[in-house]
Amino acid sequence: MSAESLLMSVVRVEHVSKDYLLGDQKVQALKDITLSFEAGVFLAIAGPSGSGKTTLLNLIGCIDVPTSGKIYINDVDVSGKTPDELADLRNRAIGFIFQTFNLLPVLSAAENVEYPLLRRKDLSSRERRKRVDYFLDIVGLSRFAKHRPNQLSGGQRQRVAIARALAIRPSIVLADEPTANLDHATGEEILALMQRINRFFNTTFIFSTHDERVIAKANRLVRVEDGQISLLGIRAENKRRRPGQREGEARAAATLRQK
């Protein structure tokens, strides 16, 4: 790995282990994991059930803390941070997408997307509404803004979850088996949407999956087995030139809407 990409890592995991205590039994969920990724990767974490995928995502997402080792997000060591500081970091840098969507059932699609923004005291209500409209548009759900989750299909719910994850303008989106509860065609659609967002905004995506078809779409692959890395893969691709931020966003919205 070049010095430059090391300097610019969006996520760095150094000698991380995670033990869970179950009664008096210790489960070693992760054993001495070291990884580093540069911004903009579309990364799959693959491995059998119980291999440690969710544990690794939760540590990267600062939802949980390692038993030993260090995690760096955007080159900042997160181990010394207080719970409040971690919540703030999550709210600014990390978007989450879950297998079961985790939308709040009493809120509309628009309110679900707005929800993580309410903690952001630096955003006016006008700016919040602008973001909600913008990201609902990107995931193709403007017409469904007022629908509650139970009035939406699984694929639509996952689109709301994607819009919610993007609304904070995160540098990293973490997705734990985002397509596992969707039929194959809808899963493909959701993945293609994630891929377009990854390319247009250069947002880093890290997702876990069992599905070889999903793995095939990734440009980075980490296979975990029994809490250890069994394989690291890189796929070269002709990355598009990244357009200027504003110009890119306008074009991204237009292009993403086409789907």
Binding residues (CB under 6 A) for ligand ATP: these are 20, 22, 27, 29, 47, 49-55
Give percent helix, percent strand, percent coil of the chain, each to the nearest 5: 40, 25, 35
Task: Tell me whether residue 131 or residue 223 sits nearer to Mg ion (CB atom).
Answer: 223
Minimum separation from the CB atom of position 97 to ligand ATP (A): 15
Per the CB < 8 A criterion, the answer to whether 201 and 252 are in contact is yes
The Cα 53–Cα 257 span in angstroms is 32
DSSP code for 23: T
Nearer to Mg ion, 114 or 176 (CB): 176
131 binds, among ligand ATP, Mg ion, none (CB under 5 to 8 A by kind): none
Output the smallest distance, CB 25 to ligand ATP, in A.
9
Per-residue binding letters, 41-70, with Mg ion (x by CB under 5 A): ------------xx----------------
Q: Looking at beta carbons only, is 54 or 108 nearer to Mg ion?
A: 54
Decide: is 74 part of the binding site for Mg ion (CB under 5 A). no
Q: Considering the complex, state which of residue 54 and residue 198 has its C-beta at the smaller distance from Mg ion.
A: 54
Gap between the terminal Cα atoms of the chain: 36
**Beta carbon of residue 48, minimum distance to Mg ion (angstroms, whole number):** 10
> In whole angstroms, how close is the CB of 182 to Mg ion at the nearest point?
16
Among Mg ion, ligand ATP, none, the one that 25 touches (CB under a kind-dependent 5 to 8 A) is none
In terms of Cα–Cα distance, which of 98, 99, 117 is closest to 107?
A: 117
Letter string b/e over residues 185-215, b meaning 16 or more CB atoms within 10 A of that residue's CB: ebbebbbebbebbbbbbbbbbbbbbebeebb
The string of DSSP codes covering 217-239 is T-SEEEEEETTEEEEEEE----P
